[in-house]
Amino acid sequence: MFSRLAKSGKTNPEYHYYHGLSLQNAENRDESIDAFIKAILMDSTHIRSFFQLAKYCVTQNDNDSALVYANRGLSYYSENVSLINLKALALYNNSEYGKAIPWFEKLLQLGESKEYIYAKLGYSYYRHWEFDKAKIALKKVLEINETNADAYFQLAQTYYKEAEKGQCGILYQKIY
């Protein structure tokens, strides 16, 4: 039905969006991507199509393209939790931990409090040498799921790096 509506020549971007979703559910990714792009060509602010394109790019590990779509959608609706999430994940997956931090923090400010957000935020803090913040985020992961072995490991790594950093500071003070 959505295929017929999309091909009818009507200029309703929703027809293309829902056609894209139906194609996606039928595991016809290439055609679904085309449908989402058509929806955006008809309505340059079609947030849900930007989300679908960004999500697809993240799943394909094409994080740079995901960032383009997420940023474009966020330029129209800056508080869209789904697009913020995809932007944070794309930056994280690109090992741009310092850039990912404010986006994970924004998710928390908007009321999202999922385990994976705290885990990725904790690791981002760790990689950015913000050990106190990393410990807080990782302890929050363990409050949510006390069986998360990765969080225990990362927390131990954080304490180790913090101690190592402290020893380097002591050595620096002794030399100078």
Model pLDDT for residues 88-97, shown as the tens digit of each residue: 999 999 999 9
Whether residue 105 lies inside any domain: the answer is no
Is 147 part of a structural domain of the chain? yes
Overall number of domains in the chain: 1
Residue 174: what pLDDT?
Answer: 47
* Residue at 70 is within a domain: no
Summarize pLDDT for 14-26 with one digit per residue, the tens.
778 887 888 877 6
Query: What's the domain range around 118?
Result: 113-176
CA distance 109 to 67: 21
**Distant-in-sequence, close-in-space partners of 86: CB < 8 Å, separation ≥ 6:** 51, 54, 55, 58, 66, 69, 70
Quote the pLDDT of residue 4. Answer: 55
First-to-last C-alpha distance (Å) of the chain = 76
- The whole-chain average pLDDT of the chain stands at 87
Q: Cα separation of 13 and 6, whole Å?
A: 8
Whether 176 is covered by a domain: the verdict is yes
> Average pLDDT in the 99-124 region?
97
- Residue 39 burial (CB < 10 Å; 0-12/13-18/19+)? buried
Q: What is the pLDDT of residues 25-41, one digit of tens each?
A: 767 678 888 888 988 98
